[in-house]
């Protein structure tokens, strides 16, 4: 009887230890808990008409096509390590739904942090004005009910858009472009462009490598990147 009680106690102790380790792993691996609450005032960049003007990191102007409306911006410290400022320009459908989105993000590691940004494995390079961006593309189906990590930059984007009454289209065509602002590789300008894939008459699943329309991916990707070139102009200091 005593041996059985000791065995049960050992199993109970082991269960507590395993549960504790699992909770500790979840807690300490959740970087999002260090992200600060977003603020929408006192932003470092300004908007003049359809120009998003930055005087630092980097000093350049992003000029968006007139079909895009500046929805606002927000700032926060991402994961407790990087000052982050986001701005959003949206194109809407006649019935007021989100058709396409420019998500612009200025990000810089805090003083004393040794981290650097590395996009050397990005498959594409995209030239906008005099600036070359690392680029990658994708297509995905957006599920608003999917459980996602908190405190990520993308989570705060969805939260911001929801607060303005918008949600991503169900099928999304995506491009990410990143410009590293100096040799330190500790500061970046990231521009993400998302468009409604339904306008291309296909779905993300069909465009995957084993999808029914996989052979059309390259032409859709080219059209998506061309749309960026036609709706976004990057201007250096002193140009207009």
Task: Give residues with Cβ within 8 angstroms of 160, minimum separation 6.
Answer: 38, 71, 72, 74, 86, 88
pLDDT of residue 48: 97
pLDDT of 24 reads 38
pLDDT on residue 22 = 40
β 82-92/171-180 pair status: unpaired
- The Cα 35–Cα 157 span in angstroms is 13
DSSP state of 16: H
Residue closest to 81 by CA, chosen among 48, 34, 132: 34
| Spatial distance between the Cα atoms of 166 and 192, rounded to a whole number of angstroms | 17
- Backbone phi, psi, residue 25, to 5°: -60, -45
pLDDT in tens, the chain (240 residues): 555 555 555 555 545 544 443 433 444 457 889 999 999 999 999 999 999 999 999 999 999 999 999 999 999 999 999 999 999 999 999 999 999 999 999 999 999 999 999 999 999 999 999 999 999 999 999 998 888 888 999 999 999 999 999 999 999 999 999 999 999 999 999 999 999 999 999 999 999 999 999 999 999 999 999 999 999 999 999 787
What is the residue extent of each domain of the chain?
A: 1-33, 35-235
């Amino acid at each position: 009887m005593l041996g059985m009680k000791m065995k049960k106690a050992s199993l109970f102790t082991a269960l507590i230890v395993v549960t504790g380790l699992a909770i500790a792993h979840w807690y300490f691996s959740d970087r999002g808990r260090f992200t600060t609450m977003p603020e929408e005032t006192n932003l470092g960049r300004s908007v003049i008409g359809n120009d998003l003007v930055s005087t630092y990191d980097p000093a350049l102007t992003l000029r968006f096509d007139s079909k895009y409306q500046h929805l606002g911006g927000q700032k926060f410290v991402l994961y407790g390590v990087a000052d982050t400022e986001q701005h959003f320009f949206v194109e809407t459908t006649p019935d007021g739904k989100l058709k396409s989105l420019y998500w612009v993000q200025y990000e810089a590691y805090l003083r004393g942090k040794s981290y650097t940004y590395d996009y050397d494995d990005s498959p594409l390079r995209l030239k906008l004005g005099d600036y070359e961006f690392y680029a990658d593309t994708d297509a995905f189906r957006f599920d608003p009910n999917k459980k996602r990590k908190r405190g990520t930059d993308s989570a705060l984007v969805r939260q911001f858009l929801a607060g303005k009454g918008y949600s991503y289209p169900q099928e999304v065509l995506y491009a990410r472009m990143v410009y590293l602002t100096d040799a330190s590789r500790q500061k970046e300008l990231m521009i993400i462009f998302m468009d409604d894939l339904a306008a291309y008459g296909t779905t993300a699943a069909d465009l995957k490598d084993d999808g029914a329309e996989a052979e059309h991916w390259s032409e859709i990707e080219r059209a998506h990147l061309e749309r960026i070139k036609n709706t976004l102009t990057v201007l250096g200091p002193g140009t207009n």
